[in-house]
């Protein structure tokens, strides 16, 4: 709140008690008579005050009145974060050894001094610079090209960064870490006793022992804004915490208080609010209301109005106490605990952060800021902000930032009008995008990956990196202590094994307040790589076109053919597509001449990559359009009926078109509502298909038989579900009597089970838990033994093996050898799980915490592995997930083999024919396995789409 506003407030006279002396105009005699009494009275009065006792006429405690008067200064104070120069950080734990990080390549977080604002906006002036960095007393004390050994404080520990990239600790300004409970056991995210709970505090539910804190830190995240959930219009106070807890993290104790990023009692406060569907759904659906956005706006305005009245009453009291003295007040300072935090927000002491997606929500909230004169610092989720920058600019007190996901969208109707280009568009409009996790919605550990994708989608490189470091720090009011590698800033540092905006970048060490966070961090074998050279071409928009004939020039890698061109024709390599099929890869001189003469499109690439297209498996793509909207879905699988996905398939949605634009031309989906849990027969189809009737839109009507065996699917227990499945399979392995054969409905569950037992149809089981996988391996043997016995008696020759695929597989690495021995394959869905449920609790997090992650151990054991997805939106990142497995696989996978994880391997494990290399291909500028590549052409069953 602006200072002027406080001074403009009307006075509130009734709070002032009339002066005890009346008859001031009375006869002198009276005055003379009263004078000695007055003296006596004042003597007594002074005595009372000195004794801190009650006021003589109204019994109010003078001490309390004076204390309250003193607190008026506190009410008027506007906080500042820590500002330099500081000789030590308030968070410093005495005994933390000084650290010299030698030979790092440093990104400071701000442009070089003297850079014009215009240049900085374009990302000019930022750089990666060779530097040493000295940490002491919880601060960065020196950043210089060479810090001489003789100048070091006593006891300094030297860390050799070996030339690698160093940034400030990552700041995630939207996280619920520590509130949700490990494996979703226990949840303190939302206080759902009412819609307006500005008075609750996230810190009261925060668990400093939450295992996820360690994981998140393993992604370089050192500071998080821990927000209450978005179930309420006013969700409560939030806190900025550093993710160091207990002695192992260099702290003196395990405590919530010890984690405050700013330990000063005068620190900034924060509050979470939320607009739109969530409060409506939480309260409207149970008949309490608000039922609509109309009601929500009223809830907001009513609460702000109560807080405003409260602020005014307090201000009037303080003004009166200033005038007449606290001891002369007839009442205490108004105090209503319920409105204290919201009043502080109106006083400008609380940084309001609001979950708001849509234009009506954003605009209503901007109206609230103007009506009640408070500032909203960021809109979170904010998927429609890119459409209405002018609306944001009308907000009171300054334009709010947009706290975004890079490409997690379409999951609810509010997120259905979202754009991957939002960050770039907002930035061009002068609005700062920052990237957040909303942990556990995304794993906060990978919030840097969001910034990396934002760069790929057109946001300037340095601005994207600032979007998870310096910019969120500034929005939290901590821009002078966090988010930059600068003298006087907090010693929160990450040394990365590669550019943080490259695929799968992993910290090799993290410091918080100068204390190393990992005792023996596992370092991946990666050769030293230079920082990314920002490519401004990513900022240019491309237009999608259908065109059967096209030439791509400048091919550098070919992962489609048997041999990569690196080992064959080096030099000028072109790809010629004629009538929808690849007709030449090489110099192709004749074709180039003809195409040029016929004015066919020629697309020039700088670093062309030719790859197979990808196949999305594991999600309900094609059966679910908007995850949170039943009306857009085929519907859930049923316990007591049996379904084929082809019968519920829907073409033409945004989800399908998006995965297509990211290189996924094919999908395999089974009846489900969006998670990996599925039951029934899956279908294989084209993401650019038209209907299930024509033109090869469905390329495989029946792919596999699916059953769910995860924690979230159990009904009533995993053991009973497994038992039921075993019984069904054993039943199906009994030969049918001749007369019964024609009675069997070919589309019945029984009929498909018979195909499974005969080894003709794969069985896909959704499982995360190692023990359940072990049970399935036992069951496989039991069924195979039974069926071979049955076959012997029916005098058939060869015994059949069940073809089983595990979908999910978070804990599958624990039975890797057994899976290999039983010839059971695994589709990891997702590739990077994070113990979201109890049956995933032994998820292997990988470096710097563990040697390898699930995929590495499965590959080592010789298990056939593919990468699937858990949620529909993830289908747009198939290439990047393959890139992740490749980059962090320490040589286990070639690039071609990595691409097989989202293609060929799926076909191998499901016994399907892989798409033809002639008609199904993708051409990229840049490697699709890394950040910064773009799809420029794709062939899908002979149809060609290009981007020019």
Ligand X SMILES: *[C@@H]1O[C@H](CO)[C@@H](O)[C@H](O)[C@H]1NC(C)=O
Instruction: Considering only the stretches 372-380, 689-697, 713-721, 750-758, report the one whose residues sit in contact with ligand X under the rule CB under 6 A.
Output: 689-697
Contact 936, 944 (CB under 8 A): no
By the 10 Å C-beta count (0-12 exposed, 13-18 middle, 19+ buried), 778 is classed as middle
58 vs 641 by CB, closer to ligand X: 58
Non-local (6+) Cβ contacts of 90 within 8 A are 82, 138, 262, 263, 264
Q: Where are the beta strands (DSSP E) in 301-409?
A: 350-356, 376-381, 401-404
The answer to whether residue 90 forms part of the interface with ligand X (CB under 6 A) is no
Minimum separation from the CB atom of position 264 to ligand X (A)? 17
Q: Does 528 bind ligand X (CB under 6 A)?
A: yes
- Least spacing, CB of residue 914 vs ligand X, in Å: 13
Q: How many angstroms separate the CA atoms of 408 and 403, rounded?
A: 13
Query: Between residues 306 and 908, which has the closer beta carbon with respect to ligand X?
Result: 908
Does 94 engage in binding with ligand X (CB under 6 A)?
yes
Q: How far is the CB of 579 from ligand X (least distance, A)?
A: 13
Q: How far is the CB of 130 from ligand X (least distance, A)?
A: 8
Q: Is 163 in the site for ligand X (CB under 6 A)?
A: yes
Binding string, 7-46, against ligand X, x = CB under 6 A? ----------------------------------------
Q: Is 248 in the site for ligand X (CB under 6 A)?
A: no
Residue 310 CB, shortest distance to ligand X, in Å, is 25
- Closest CB 154 distance from ligand X, rounded Å: 12
**Rounded-to-integer distance, Cα 49 and Cα 772, Å:** 75
What is the DSSP secondary-structure string of 398-443?
A: SPPEEEE-SS---SSGGGSS--TTHHHHHHHTT--EEE--TBTTS-
Instruction: Pick the piece of the chain touching ligand X (CB under 6 A) from 193-201, 242-250, 255-263, 687-695.
Output: 687-695
Exactly one of 27, 85, 694, 891 binds ligand X (CB under 6 A); that residue is 694
Which residue is nearest to ligand X, using beta carbons?
A: 694
Identity of the residue, 137 or 355, whose beta carbon is nearer to ligand X in the bound complex: 137
CA distances (Å), origin 435, targets 173, 405, 445, 550: 8, 6, 12, 37
DSSP code at position 282: I
Residue choice 10, 693, 717, 798 for contact with ligand X (CB under 6 A): 693
Number of shown-chain residues binding ligand X (CB under 6 A): 20
Contacts of 187 (CB under 8 A, 6+ apart): 179, 180, 181
- Interface positions, 833-892, toward ligand X (CB under 6 A): 864
Nearest-approach distance from CB 804 to ligand X, in angstroms: 9
Residues of span 40-69 touching ligand X by CB under 6 A: 57-59
Please pick, from the candidates 292, 695, 719, 785, the single residue that binds ligand X as defined by CB under 6 A: 695
Nearer to ligand X (CB atom), residue 88 or residue 199:
88
Smaller CB separation from ligand X, 59 or 793: 59
Are the beta carbons of 611 and 663 closer than 8 angstroms?
yes
Angle at 883 between CA 444 and CA 608, to 5 degrees: 130
The DSSP output letter for 737 is: P
The Cα–Cα gap between 402 and 353 comes to: 10
Site string for ligand X, 756-785 (x = CB under 6 A): ------------------------------
How, if at all, do strands 921-925 and 602-611 pair? antiparallel
Nearer Cβ to ligand X (7/145): 145
d(CA 158, CA 144): 15
Minimum CB distance to ligand X smaller for 158 or for 257: 158
Q: Which stretch binds ligand X (CB under 6 A): 562-570, 685-693, 700-708, 717-725?
A: 685-693
For ligand X, which is the closer residue by CB, 40 or 690? 690
Nearer to ligand X, 127 or 536 (CB): 127
Q: Which of 315, 775, 825, 853 binds ligand X (CB under 6 A)?
A: 825
Q: How far is the CB of 509 from ligand X (least distance, A)?
A: 15
d(CA 323, CA 719): 76
In this complex, which beta carbon is closest to ligand X, that of residue 778 or of residue 801? 801
Taking CA 666 as the corner, what is the angle to CA 887 and CA 664, rounded to the nearest 5 degrees?
A: 40
Least distance from ligand X to the Cβ atom of residue 98, Å: 12
- Nearer to ligand X by C-beta: 592 or 909? 909
Tell me which residues in 172-191 interact with ligand X (CB under 6 A): none
Minimum Å distance from CB 781 to ligand X?
A: 13
Residue 55 beta carbon to ligand X: minimum distance, rounded to whole angstroms = 8
Which pair of structure tokens corresponds to residue 178? 């520590």
Measure the CA–CA gap between 124 and 119, rounded to whole angstroms. Answer: 5
DSSP helix/strand/coil, 332: coil
Q: Nearest approach, Cβ of 755 to ligand X (angstroms)?
A: 15
Which of 80, 712, 823, 916 is in the footprint of ligand X by CB under 6 A? 823
Residue 312 and residue 347 in contact, taking contact as beta carbons nearer than 8 Å? no
- Residues 867, 895: Cα–Cα separation, whole Å: 14
Contact residue for ligand X among 801, 842, 892, 904 (CB under 6 A): 801
Report the residue number, 57 or 793, with the smaller CB distance to ligand X.
57
Question: Which two tokens mark 488?
Answer: 């006087």
Closest approach of ligand X to the CB of residue 693, in Å: 5
149 binds ligand X (CB under 6 A): no
Among residues 617, 685, 623, the alpha carbon closest in space to that of 655 is found at: 623
Closest approach of Cβ 805 to ligand X, in Å? 8
Q: In what order do the strands lie in the sheet with 376-381?
A: 170-175, 221-226, 234-242, 269-274, 350-356, 376-381, 401-404, 433-435
Cα separations (Å) of 424 from 385, 531, 734? 12, 21, 62
Tell me how far apart the alpha carbons of residues 337 and 342 are, in angstroms, rounded to a whole number. 10
Helix (H, G, I), strand (E, B) or coil at 298: helix
CB closer to ligand X, 564 vs 908: 908
512 lies in the binding site for ligand X (CB under 6 A): no
The pair phi, psi for residue 486, each rounded to 5°, is -150, 145
Identify which range of 28-36, 193-201, 368-376, 691-699 contacts ligand X by CB under 6 A.
Answer: 691-699
Q: Cβ closer to ligand X: 253 or 305?
A: 253
Q: Residue 579 or residue 717: which is nearer to ligand X going by CB?
A: 579
Question: Which phi and psi angles does 846 have, rounded to 5°?
Answer: 80, -175
Nearest approach in angstroms of CB 527 to ligand X is 10
Handedness of CA 105, 108, 113, 117 (dihedral sign): positive
882: number of CA atoms within 13 Å, CB side?
Answer: 31
Q: Which is nearer to ligand X, 208 or 580 (CB)?
A: 580
User: By CB under 6 A, which span of 25-33, 692-700, 738-746, 879-887 interacts with ligand X?
Assistant: 692-700
Distance, C-alpha 688 to centroid of its chain: 28
Q: Give the DSSP letter of residue 14.
A: G
Region label for 846, one of left (φ > 0), alpha (ψ between -120 and 50) or beta (otherwise): left
Q: Does 162 bind ligand X (CB under 6 A)?
A: yes
Closest to ligand X by CB, 340 vs 908, is 908
Window 909-948: contact mask with ligand X (x via CB under 6 A): x---------------------------------------
CA separation for the pair 561, 750 (Å, rounded):
41
Which residue, 73 or 693, has its beta carbon nearer to ligand X? 693
- Per CB under 6 A, residues contacting ligand X are 57-59, 94, 103, 162-163, 528, 690-691, 693-695, 801, 803, 823, 825, 864, 908-909
């Amino acid at each position: 709140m602006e200072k002027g506003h406080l001074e403009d407030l009307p006075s509130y006279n009734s709070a002032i008690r009339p002066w005890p002396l009346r008859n001031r105009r009375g006869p002198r005699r009276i005055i003379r008579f009263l004078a000695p009494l007055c003296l006596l009275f004042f003597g007594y009065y002074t005595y009372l005050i000195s004794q801190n006792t009650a006021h003589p006429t109204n019994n109010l405690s003078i001490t309390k009145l004076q204390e309250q008067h003193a607190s008026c200064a506190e009410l008027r104070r506007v906080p500042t974060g820590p500002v330099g120069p500081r000789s030590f950080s308030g968070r410093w734990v005495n005994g933390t050894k000084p650290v010299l990080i030698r030979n790092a390549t440093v990104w400071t977080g701000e442009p070089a001094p003297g850079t014009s604002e215009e240049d900085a906006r374009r990302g000019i002036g930022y750089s990666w610079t060779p530097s040493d960095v000295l940490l002491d007393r919880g601060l960065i004390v020196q950043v210089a090209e060479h810090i001489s050994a003789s100048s070091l404080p006593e006891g300094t520990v030297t860390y050799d960064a070996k030339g690698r990239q160093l940034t400030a600790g990552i700041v995630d300004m939207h996280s619920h870490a520590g509130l949700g409970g490990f494996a979703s056991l226990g949840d303190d995210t939302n206080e759902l006793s009412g819609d307006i709970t500005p008075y609750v505090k996230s810190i009261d539910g925060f668990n400093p022992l939450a295992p996820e804190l360690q994981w998140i830190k393993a992604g370089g995240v050192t500071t998080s804004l821990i927000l209450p959930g978005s179930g309420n219009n006013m969700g409560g106070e939030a806190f900025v915490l550093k993710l160091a807890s207990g002695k192992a993290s260099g702290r003196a104790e395990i405590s919530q208080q010890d984690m405050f990023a700013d330990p000063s009692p005068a620190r900034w406060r924060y509050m979470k609010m939320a607009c739109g569907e969530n409060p409506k759904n939480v309260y409207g659906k149970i008949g309490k209301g608000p039922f609509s956005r109309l009601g929500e706006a009223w809830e907001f305005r009513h609460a702000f109005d109560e807080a405003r009245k409260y602020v005014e009453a307090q201000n009037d009291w303080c003004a009166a106490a200033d005038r007449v003295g606290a001891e002369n007040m007839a009442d205490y300072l108004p105090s209503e605990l319920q409105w204290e935090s919201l009043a502080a927000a109106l006083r400008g002491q609380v940084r309001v952060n609001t979950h708001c997606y849509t234009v009506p929500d954003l605009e209503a909230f901007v109206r609230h800021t103007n009506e009640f004169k408070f500032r909203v610092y960021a809109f979170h989720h904010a998927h429609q902000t890119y459409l209405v920058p002018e609306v944001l600019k009308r907000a009171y007190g300054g334009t709010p930032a947009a706290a975004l996901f890079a490409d997690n969208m379409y999951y609810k109707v509010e997120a259905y009008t979202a754009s991957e280009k939002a960050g770039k568009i907002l930035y061009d409009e002068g609005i700062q995008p920052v990237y957040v996790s909303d942990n556990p919605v995304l794993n906060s550990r990978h919030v840097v990956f969001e910034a990396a994708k934002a760069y790929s989608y057109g946001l300037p490189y340095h601005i994207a990196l600032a979007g998870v470091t310096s910019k969120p720090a500034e929005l939290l009011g901590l821009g002078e202590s966090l988010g930059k590698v600068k003298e006087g800033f907090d010693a929160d540092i990450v040394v990365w094994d590669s550019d943080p905006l490259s695929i799968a970048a992993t910290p090799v060490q993290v410091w918080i307040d100068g204390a190393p966070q990992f005792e023996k961090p596992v370092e991946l074998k990666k050769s030293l790589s230079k920082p990314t050279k920002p490519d401004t071409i990513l900022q240019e928009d491309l237009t999608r076109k259908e065109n059967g004939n096209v030439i791509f020039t400048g091919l550098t890698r070919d992962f489609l053919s048997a041999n990569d061109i690196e080992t064959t024709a080096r030099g000028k390599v072109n790809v010629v597509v004629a009538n929808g099929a690849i007709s030449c890869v090489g110099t192709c001189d004749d074709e180039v001449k003809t195409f040029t003469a016929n004015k066919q499109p020629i697309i020039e690439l700088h670093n062309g990559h030719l790859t197979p297209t990808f196949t999305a498996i594991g999600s309900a793509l094609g059966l679910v359009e908007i995850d949170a909207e039943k009306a857009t879905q085929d519907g859930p699988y049923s316990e007591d009926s049996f379904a084929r996905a082809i019968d519920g398939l829907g073409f033409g949605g945004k989800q399908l078109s998006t995965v297509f634009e990211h290189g996924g031309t094919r999908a395999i989906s089974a009846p489900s509502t969006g998670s990996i849990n599925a039951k029934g027969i899956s279908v294989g189809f084209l993401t650019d298909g038209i209907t299930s009737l024509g033109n090869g839109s469905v390329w495989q009507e029946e792919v596999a038989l699916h059953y769910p065996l995860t924690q979230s699917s159990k009904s009533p227990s995993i053991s009973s579900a497994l038992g039921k499945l075993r019984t069904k399979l054993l039943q199906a392995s009994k030969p049918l009597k001749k007369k019964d054969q024609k009675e069997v409905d070919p589309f019945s569950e029984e009929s498909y089970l018979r195909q499974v037992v005969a080894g003709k149809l794969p069985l896909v089981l959704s499982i995360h838990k190692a023990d359940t996988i072990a049970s399935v391996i036992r069951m496989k043997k039991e069924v195979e033994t039974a069926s071979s016995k049955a076959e012997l008696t029916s005098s058939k020759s060869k015994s059949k093996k069940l073809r089983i695929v595990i979908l999910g597989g978070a804990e599958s690495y624990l039975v890797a050898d057994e899976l290999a021995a039983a010839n059971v394959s695994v589709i990891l869905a997702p590739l990077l799980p994070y113990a979201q449920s109890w049956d995933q609790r032994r998820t292997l997090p990988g470096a710097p915490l563990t040697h390898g992650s699930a995929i590495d151990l499965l590959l080592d054991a010789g298990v056939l592995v593919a990468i699937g997805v858990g949620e529909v939106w993830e289908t747009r990142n198939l290439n990047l997930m393959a890139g992740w497995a490749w980059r962090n696989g320490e040589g286990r996978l070639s690039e071609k083999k990595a691409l097989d994880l989202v293609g060929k391997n799926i076909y191998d494990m499901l016994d399907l024919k892989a798409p033809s290399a002639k008609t199904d291909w993708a051409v990229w500028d840049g490697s699709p396995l890394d950040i910064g590549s773009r799809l420029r052409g794709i062939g899908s069953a002979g149809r060609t789409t290009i981007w020019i």
